[in-house]
Structure 1
Amino acid sequence: MYQTHTIGKKVRLLIYILIPILITQLGMYAMNFFDTVMSGHASADDLAGVAIGSSLWTPVFTGLSGILLSLTPIISQLIGANKKEQIPFSLVQAIYLAFVIAVVVIVIGGCVIHPILNAMNLDPHVQDIAYRYLKALAWGMIPLFVYNALRCFIDAHGQTKLTMMITLAALPINILFNYFMIFGKMGFPRLGGVGAGYASAIAYWIITFIALFVIVFKQPFAKYRVFNRVYRISFASWKEQLKIGVPIGFSVFFETSIFSAVTLLMSNFSTLIVAAHQSAMNFASALYMVPLSISMALTIAVGFEVGAKRFQDARLYSYIGIIIAVIMAIIFAISVYLLNGQISKLYSTDATLRHMIEHFVIYAIFFQLSDAFGAPIQGTLRGYKDVNITLVMTLISYWVIGLPLGYILANFTPLEPFGYWIGLIIGLAAGAICLFIRLIFVQRRYKHSFLQNSKT
């Protein structure tokens, strides 16, 4: 990151940070996509087992890894404030915290996975595959959480291209070991969907070692000499990170888990409707990578400017990010509307199912428009380290407004399954409006505080 003096330069810098983040997010999304698709070529039971295991794991991982996102604004503000001597300590404490989180997940997961799967009334073979898939994945949980801390550290310097390259390196590794271990190639045992879990774990270890190598030997990270001394665990530092990270983690968890809840509620409808819903939701998730990536880029840029006490620059970045997200959403909305039929072909050749998918995809357009406004604001607020109100607003918009309203519309009106989507869209829109009001308040507070300090 570096200081910019014109709007044009700010746009260029934000896009420079954004594009690698977007490619990284799409790469991580593709890993899960290939796990599912390649398992499906092993058998229908393997596909179901991996899909169930992923649906249980994804909300937990995204929520807990959200805690580590606190490192991005912490490091960005330290860089902006030119307090670089504090950075190695903050990173090492984040690594310690990531290790502890991973161990806690493994221990608790070992205790609760069986009861959860038993409660789902699954086919015994599918249940066994889901359990063994998660057990295999557990071998990579420690490096996965540590990598997320390392990634936040690298991204906070604006070096998002590096994390992009590391994540993209993991994708062919994951696909290759999927091929070996799912289908029993090159001397490996044929493990079916369970092999996808081991393949992912191997990929997580490899990208973690690559990230460590980059931090130790590549500038500007090597100058910190992060691992040249042993730091004691600092609960005070953990408290700072958890104070910011826990609200972020819960916000992310509320966002991801709501879609799992809707999928479960959708099970009251026909298999055709559930399949169409899942296909459209999969497509909407891919579109969401754009506003999500803009959100992450804004956390870096805004955090840097806030740390340097350039609050007007931070404000400009926030509005540039929102405008970019909205423009992209409008382009996507027009494209999706015009190419709706082609999109449905990606998921099925069945005419009836395709027709249903096309209906759901239209609602995905409105998802995209709401996210284009709300997600960048969340990223901006994280740059200000303002996360508690965001947590409350996310909880209310999804679980108090969106889901109950969707349930009412789906079960007591002719909208039926589409009612859940309308409820979530309304909840998203309400949350985005409230977040925008909060953003204005925070920006005015920082501006007022700066003016008061200037006078004194």
Structure 2
Amino acid sequence: MQRSRGWHRDLREMAQVAAPIVLINVGIQAMGVVDAIMVGKLGGAAIAAVALGNFYFFNVSVFGIGLLFAIDPVVSQAFGAGDYTAAARGVQRGLLLAVAVTVVVTLALMPGEWVLGVLQQPADVVRETAVYTRRRALGALPFFIFAVFRQTLQAMGPVRPVIIAALVANLVNAAANWLLIFGNLGFPQLGVAGSGYATAISTWLMMLLVLPLAWPLLRDMLRPWHPESHRWGPLWRMMRIGIPIGIQWFFESFAFGLTALFMGWMGTASLAGHEIALNMAAMTFMVPLGISGAASAVVGRAIGRGDLPSARRDAAAAIVCGVGFMCISAIIFMAFPHQLATLYTHEVATVTVAVALIPLAGWFQVFDGLQAVTSGVLRGTGDTRVPAVLHMIAFWGVGIPLGAWLGFRTPLRERGLWIGLVAGLAAAAVLQSLRVIWRMRGELRRVVIDHH
């Protein structure tokens, strides 16, 4: 009974830590969902353009996002150890990396027509997708700076300022979409381009809001500016933590992006139906992703203060919470595919594809939740290189080859591609779970990048 009460307490505490982070993730993802739903009134091609544009933006940005996730173990473990100077240096180095990443990402988003043309995407989607991504590129700098502030606050604990900023940004995004897509209240009718502008405007607002709201917490992290933050040695050691995360996220994201490209080869309806199912799955994925962030923070803080039993209990509680939620989500996806698909559009061809894929999305929910949470646990320990290799094996050794064969060599077509995704996620979930078990049985030491 005492052990049961302990488990209940661990689960409750993990849920309390994760809930605000989940709200943040849902709020950020909701921008893309709102974009897709609102442009849905323009037809399936517009849905495909915005959804493909979001994937283009994310695939170009994902390495940089992963690089900045080095903040998680560096700052959370330093904070747990009471080493606030090391935490501040970690945040300041994160800002330097954010500016560098912004330059690379913005340049990569410019040649949209050429990139999508080379990838043989539908002609009626390419131009609008390229326009959308160039408008979204206007919000690249605040996107990455916001990521630094968000990871910092998660590592420290209090995230209410981020929730408020994300909520306000979502309201502004919906209003700006209504004004700029359809030309309401005298604004220009910009269609898909208007949705891109709306997201960029909202991202700037989100970043500018979180800074004053969180200033009492961020002030000591941002000033004084430590000259050591510019030193190449510690900066490179921080990058060595973040680069494997970026590689892991890039190849996972690229696997999904490549599947979207395969769908585009099958036609606009296939691509639009795929994007609807994936958009919905991405929304529910924000919950285990939030739990992953919470696990990384609490495990990191426990390691920083030398409390290894708490680190192990927190890891187990995070896994139970993440997988439990995704099991519920999977049941809903399998039970109501048609009702969910028609939230986006009533075009028969698009709905038919989406209805075929949404139950499969239910299956991959469970595996996706498990691999996400175990990634967060490992990140909290500072273990980033081995998980990157495991992801490569799972997605590119299993998922993509199997999906391509089923999609193009059998009558399964769109469903075959998604079966490959399910298999890749299952392999990643199993391999990373084994890695967590191995890590938690060994000695866990604090990550230190400032060597004196």
Whole-angstrom CA distance in 2 between matches of 1:37 and 1:268: 23
Between 197-206 and 32-41, the greater mean CA deviation after superposition? 32-41
Whole-angstrom CA distance in 1 between matches of 2:141 and 2:408: 43
1:443 aligns with 2:408: no
- The code of the aligned residue for 2:30 comes to A
- CA shift, 1:371, in A, is 1.7
Q: Secondary structure at the match of 2:443?
A: helix
- The code of the aligned residue for 2:392 comes to L
1:148 aligns with 2:144: no
- CA shift, 1:95, in A, is 0.8
Relative distance call for 1:271 and 1:46 in structure 2 (3 A) is: closer
- The code of the aligned residue for 1:425 comes to V
Q: Secondary structure at the match of 2:357?
A: helix
Whole-angstrom CA distance in 1 between matches of 2:418 and 2:431: 20
Residue ranges of structure 2 left out of the alignment (5+ in a row)? 447-452
Q: Deviations over 1:268-323 (max 9, x none)?
A: 54655444333322222222222222111111111111111211111111111111
Whole-angstrom CA distance in 2 between matches of 1:63 and 1:198: 23
- Aligned twin of 1:82: 82
Q: Secondary structure at the match of 1:191?
A: coil
- Aligned twin of 1:10: 10
- The code of the aligned residue for 2:173 comes to N
- Aligned twin of 1:453: none
- Aligned twin of 2:248: 251
Whole-angstrom CA distance in 2 between matches of 1:105 and 1:272: 29
Residue ranges of structure 1 left out of the alignment (5+ in a row)? 451-456
In the TM superposition, what are the counterparts of 1:36-435 in structure 2 within 5 Å? 36-41=36-41, 47-110=47-110, 112-120=111-119, 127-186=126-185, 188-216=187-215, 218=216, 220-222=217-219, 224=220, 226-229=222-225, 231=227, 233-269=230-266, 272-349=269-346, 354=351, 356-435=353-432
Whole-angstrom CA distance in 2 between matches of 1:411 and 1:127: 22
- CA shift, 1:155, in A, is 1.1
Relative distance call for 1:98 and 1:308 in structure 2 (3 A) is: same
- Is residue 295–residue 380 contact of structure 1 (8 Å, CA) maintained in 2? yes
Whole-angstrom CA distance in 1 between matches of 2:417 and 2:124: 31
Identity of aligned residues (%): 29
Instruction: Give the number of the structure with larger relative contact order, counting CA–CA contacts within 8 Å between residues 6 or more apart.
Output: 2
Work out the number of aligned pairs and report it.
441
* Aligned-CA RMSD value: 2.8
The alignment's TM-score, normalised by the length of structure 2, stands at 0.88
- The code of the aligned residue for 1:191 comes to L
- Is residue 80–residue 304 contact of structure 1 (8 Å, CA) maintained in 2? yes
- The code of the aligned residue for 1:372 comes to G
- CA shift, 1:393, in A, is 0.8
Whole-angstrom CA distance in 1 between matches of 2:275 and 2:23: 23
Whole-angstrom CA distance in 2 between matches of 1:133 and 1:340: 28
- Is residue 87–residue 221 contact of structure 2 (8 Å, CA) maintained in 1? no
Q: Secondary structure at the match of 1:446?
A: coil
- Is residue 214–residue 221 contact of structure 1 (8 Å, CA) maintained in 2? no
- The code of the aligned residue for 1:410 comes to G
Q: Secondary structure at the match of 1:148?
A: helix
- CA shift, 1:123, in A, is 7.7
Whole-angstrom CA distance in 1 between matches of 2:166 and 2:83: 29
Relative distance call for 1:340 and 1:38 in structure 2 (3 A) is: closer
Whole-angstrom CA distance in 2 between matches of 1:343 and 1:188: 31
